[in-house]
Structure formats: C-alpha cells, structure tokens
Amino acid sequence: MNPEDRNDHNSEIEHGLEAFALYGFEAQIRDDWRVEVNPKAKRKKGDVVFHTPLGNRLFVSWGPLEDASRRFKTLEEHRDWNVEQIKKSPNLKEFDVSDKREYLINGHRALSAHVKASLKQGFGGRGTLVEDIWSVRFYCPNLSRYYVIYSQQRDAHEFKDFGQVFNSIVGGFRCHT
C-alpha cells in the first residue's frame, strides 16, 4: 500500500465500527468519528452529532412521540415538513429531492428523503455551497419517542458513497431492546 493512501477516506480500507449508546438507543458508528452530545440533551429530548474527519456530520435527534403526534398527522407530513424547511432557505439557489424511501428501523416504519441543495454563500452570495442531506424519521411507541436521523455532507470527496454509509447506520439503529 502506498503511504499516501493511508489517510484517504475514499480508499477501500474499512474503518471499524463501534457501538454508541445513549438514553436507550444504539447506533453503530465509524471509529474515526468524533461524538458531541448537546449539553442540554436529556433522556426525554435531545440530540447528538457525529463529526467525520473531514467535517461531514450525522445527527440523531429525539423527543416525546406525543410532541410529533400533536404537530404532524402522519409520518409523511413530518418528513415533508422538514424538506419544505430546506426549500424555504433564503440562500437557496437550487433544490432537488432525489430519493424518498421507506425503511423498517428496529421494527418501526421509517421514511427518508435525500435532498441536494445549492446555497449562496460569501460576500454578495457569489459563492456556492452544495449540501447533500440524507434524513430519516420514525416513531418508536415502545419508548414513546420520535427520532430524526440526518446528515449534512459538505465534503463530497470524503466517501465514495455517503448514501451507503448513511443507510448502514440507519439500518443498524436500535431504539429499544
């Protein structure tokens, strides 16, 4: 192996996975990701963010299922509301929803969306920031919680297929035992 390839995140070398568990949920994350728990997070409601070495981020947010049920009539409405929030950004130049899927996460129906957004940035909005956003929402009646797992991919070169990384984490997520 060429020594320069050792730090290349696009290389075929797999990083190990390790279990991260907090307040009753568990996710398998890569062993080179940094974990940041929101200091205001509580068992009832909170969020945690996983930072990749090149600055991409994956968030897990949770809260009382009763809050989500009061606000949204359906899981579809919950997913679509978040997509619309991205679309309303004042700096939005381009917007594309390229993929909507249904999953089973720990036995629960889950809905995802994949959004690519180009945002104006910099002085006078002349620069462009492209964000690749993967998200999934589901409700866990066993713990009376809703979950939102989403990512912000700003460095598209870090992973050959971030969708595969995201789907792997989502597929291994456990909200209850």
CATH number at residue 156: 3.40.1000.10
Domain count, the chain: 1
**Would you tell me how many other CB atoms lie within 10 Å of the CB of residue 62?**
25
* Residue 39 is assigned to a structural domain of this protein: yes
Query: Is 9 within a domain?
Result: no
* Whole-number pLDDT of residue 9: 45
Write out pLDDT tens, residues 107-125: 999 999 999 888 887 666 5
pLDDT digits (tens, 9 = 90+) for 2-15: 334 434 444 334 57
Q: Is residue 122 part of a domain?
A: yes
Show the DSSP H helices in the chain as ranges. Answer: 65-71, 75-87, 162-171
Chain mean pLDDT for the chain:
87
Mean pLDDT confidence for 51-67: 96
Buried b (16+ CB within 10 A) or exposed e, 105-118: bbebebbbbbbbbe
Distance CA 107, CA 50 (A): 24
Q: Say if 11 falls within a structural domain.
A: no
Give the rounded percent of residues in the chain with a pLDDT score beyond 90: 61
pLDDT tens, residue by residue, 124-176: 656 777 788 899 999 999 999 999 999 988 788 899 888 899 999 999 999 99
Confidence band, pLDDT 50/70/90 cuts, at residue 76: very high
Q: Which residue has the higher pLDDT, 6 or 85?
A: 85
| Predicted pLDDT at 124 | 64
What's the domain range around 39? 18-171
pTM value is: 0.85
